[in-house]
A and B are shown apart, each in its own frame.
Chain A
Amino acid sequence: MNLQKIRLVAGNYVFILPALLLFATFSLYPFFKVFQLSVMDWDGISPKMVYVGFENFKDLLFDNSVFWLSMRNAAFVTFLALTVQNSLALFLAWCCDREIRGGNVYRVIFYLPPVLSGIVVGLIWNWIYDGHYGLLNHFLHFIGLGDLSRAWLSEGRTALIAVSVIHMWKGFGWGFVILLAGLQSIPRELYEAARVDGASGWVVFKNITAPLMIPVFILVSILTILGTMQIFDIIIATTGGGPGYHTEVPITRIVTTMIGSSRFGYACAMGVVFGLVLLAVSMIQIRVSKAMRQV
């Protein structure tokens, strides 16, 4: 490579230098710092950190049942989000994809919940779920099911489901928008041809819509898993992880360990393990989706 070429290449690199510096400072450095801190015993204040090797990971993997319980809780919410929330999003997207009156109004309405702050949504639903004066209990009394009324967020049996419902209500709008965009990208001629051949609605969905939507389904699923596993704001605004450990999720555990117990190193180890679990789940999902596409 001659000098002229080097100068040209170097010139190009100089232009990306600002972006690279920003990316390195605000993304790469914190990313690697988390790994460094995860093998330390550090309170987050003292300039001194004590190297503890894999002690934090050992304790986390084999002696911290609460963290794994929180992981199970997050997985439960994620399962509901993947199935119920995304099915609802798909159904509503399918409805809005058709020629209906006021379609844009529905689109705006369905997209409103994700725009709201999680804390605000949590506070609103606190009122809906309230044991004494809650809207839900009033409704149950109104339809003659008063026996079912309870403090939904304060009972072990219902707290996690109640929180999941809030999360799904807030989150279905994202899936709705992406799925609607996917549905609208399918050429209309395919549907027309199928109808000319006398295909029923279900056959059209099974043989045209679903196969062409697989890349969109993959995208929505990955976003749902990553977004739901990291649920935090709604939990903080409603149950704070309680009652007991019923609504604890990995992020509430990380925050409690970091701020409540001042164990930054251990909290970072939790973050690393949690990140690796998410990575593994996403990889598995991509593999499965690829296999499905080939079928």
Chain B
Amino acid sequence: MIDNIQNICYAFRLMTFKKNLSELRPNLSIFIISFILFAFAGCGPSRDKDLNTLTVWHWMSDREAAFQELAEQFEEEQGVKVRFDLYAPSEAYAQRVKASAQTNTLPDIFGILGEKRDFASFILSGYVAGLTAYLNEKDGGLSWKERFFEKAVQVNEFLPGNEYGVEPGIYAVPLDITTIQMLYNKKLYEKAGLDPNRPPDSWEEFLSHARALRAKGIPGLVSGFGEIWMIEALASNWAMNLMGEEKVFKTYEGKVPYTDSDWVKVLSLFKQMADEKILVEGAVTMVNKTAEQTFANERAAYAFNGSWSVNVYRGMNPQLDYAVILPPKITHIYPMKIWGGAGTSFMVNDRSPRRENAIRFLKWLTEDKQQVFFAGRTQNLPANKNCLSDIPLVLAQFADDMDNTTHPNVYPVRENAAVTEAFDKGIQSILIGEKTPEAVAREVQKVKEKELRKKQ
């Protein structure tokens, strides 16, 4: 009671105070009210009230136009407006999505860039809707899931007993697929006196072809090794070919050391490339965009790049005559596993009031007609396997090896980020002739042991 009286007195005094203030400074009240109105104008969740407008966030500037056209088409057909918001480059986009998760302002549909543990964290925090039931729903014989390449779905799937503790299921819809492989320039092959229809299959052949190219002054391989994940992709291809997936995963588990002779041999391949001067000068710190320019301008005979590059090369040099091959095999004991699977996937915000509409839109977006349109416009491999017949030959070559694909996001066990960085940076050091494969293997193992100790 006393408290209430005190509060009333305080409120009265405040009113008097305000009144006196307004006498002293006539515009003060207007000023404060205006400030508060302006300051908080953007804080209201007004967007949430509009149930008929979906918002999609993405980072793919090369696909923005196609997305906008599809959005217009969807609105015409289904009466639901879709707004695609582009946030590029991808690093800025990744940051924006993380920040929005913290403030609970994620859009209805979004993509997650990063590793599987980031994806898992989004799910565990309740930001991503489980889509298993929707994907398994039969619609005229086939389920939604059956439209896609199996590998494309796997990337978005969490299996029972997964290391992240995520409830088993599928949590995203693949839009396109990608594989990362080796490309070679047919014209430069001819120039070097090599058969343009007989690319290298084994490591020995690769070395001999590279020597022949070098003899004619043609630089060998270019790739964006400045972005160290490209090094990681090539090294893991060779590691899996040389020792098999199981041994690679055992290494990640800490049961096989990086100082094992097979790992030293993988590192030695890079040393051999450096010794034979196969790599284009400067490729060690090159970003992939520059590497793509180098290959498109016929300044390198080989490129290690993803299926997205078909669109890039077409834009840079439409006359470029090239074909796609698997990276040269080290042995024939184990298969050559390449990185691939879902390229772009979209997640649905579990907290969105437009959840059902968002799922409906994604289902529509991955139908045959839309996927053919999307693949045609963006020169990317569609995730829908029924649409491959309508794509260019080079793109189809990328798709041919879909069965050989794997990806860190589907590995049963993931390597620690610090170890991966030490491994990739170590390869950079080998490529510049600074360290030996043995020294790098020892350093990586040291980091691995440190990380294992932390886990205990």
Contacts and interface: CB of A to CB of B under 8 A. Distances in A.
Interface in B247-270: none
A133 to B, nearest CB: 8
B417 A154 contact: no
A261 interface: yes
Contact of B118 (A18, A43, A126): A43
Contact of A7 (B24, B39, B286): B24
Contacts of B442: none
A240 interface: yes
B276 to A, nearest CB: 16
Given A11-B28, A132-B219, A156-B432, A245 B285 contact: no
A271 interface: no
B450 A63 contact: yes
Contacts of A130: 282
Interface in B411-430: 417-418, 421, 425-426, 428-429
Contact of B17 (A7, A45, A126, A260): A7
Contacts of B101: 45
B28 A14 contact: yes
A132 B94 contact: no
Interface string B272-307: 000000001111111100100000000100000000
Interface string A86-108: 00000000000000000000000
A45 B98 contact: yes
Which of A21, A239, A261 neighbours the largest number of chain B CB atoms within 10 Å of its CB? Answer: A261
Contacts of A184: none
B122 interface: yes
A89 to B, nearest CB: 29
Nearest to A48: B125
Contact of A46 (B20, B94, B125, B226): B125
Interface string B323-353: 0000000000000000000000000000000
A243 B432 contact: yes
Contact of B417 (A7, A133, A155, A261): A261
Nearest to A245: B425
A11 B25 contact: yes
A242 B428 contact: yes
B35 A18 contact: yes
Contact of B228 (A133, A242, A262): A242
A15 B31 CA distance: 9
A43 B450 contact: no
Contacts, number: 113
Contacts of A150: 281
B24 A47 contact: no
Could you tell me the dominant secondary structure of chain B's interface residues? helix
B118 to A, nearest CB: 6
Contacts of A17: 32, 35
A238 interface: yes
A234 interface: no
Given A11-B21, A14-B21, A261-B418, A242 B39 contact: no
A151 interface: yes
B428 A244 contact: yes
B125 A45 contact: yes
A238 B287 CA distance: 8
B121 A243 contact: no
A243 B280 CA distance: 14
Contact of A14 (B32, B228, B283, B299): B32
Contact of A45 (B31, B118, B287, B450): B118
Interface residue tally of chain B, by bracket? 35 or more
A267 interface: no
Contacts of B88: none
Interface residues of A, number: 39
A44 interface: yes
B226 A45 contact: no
Which of A11, A63, A240, A244 neighbours the largest number of chain B CB atoms within 10 Å of its CB? Answer: A244
Interface string A227-267: 00000000000111011110000000000100111100000
B110 to A, nearest CB: 13
Interface string A60-93: 0001000000000000000000000000000000
A132 to B, nearest CB: 6
Contacts of B125: 45-47
A55 B366 CA distance: 47
A211 B48 CA distance: 64
A254 to B, nearest CB: 13
A271 B280 CA distance: 36
B121 A43 contact: yes
A1 interface: no
A292 interface: no
B432 A262 contact: no
Contact of B281 (A14, A45, A154, A245): A154
Which of A10, A155, A159 neighbours the largest number of chain B CB atoms within 10 Å of its CB? Answer: A155
A256 B114 CA distance: 12
Interface in A7-59: 7-8, 10-11, 14-15, 17-18, 21, 43-47
Interface string B1-40: 0000000000000000100110011001001100100010
A65 to B, nearest CB: 10
Contacts of A262: 114-115, 117-118, 121, 417
A182 interface: no
B431 interface: yes
Interface string A126-170: 100011110000000000000000110111100100000000000
A130 B117 CA distance: 37
A185 to B, nearest CB: 39
A291 B127 CA distance: 58
B91 A240 contact: no
6 contacts: A7-B17, A7-B20, A10-B17, A15-B28, A63-B450, A244-B435
Interface of A: 7-8, 10-11, 14-15, 17-18, 21, 43-47, 63, 126, 130-133, 150-151, 153-156, 159, 238-240, 242-245, 256, 259-262
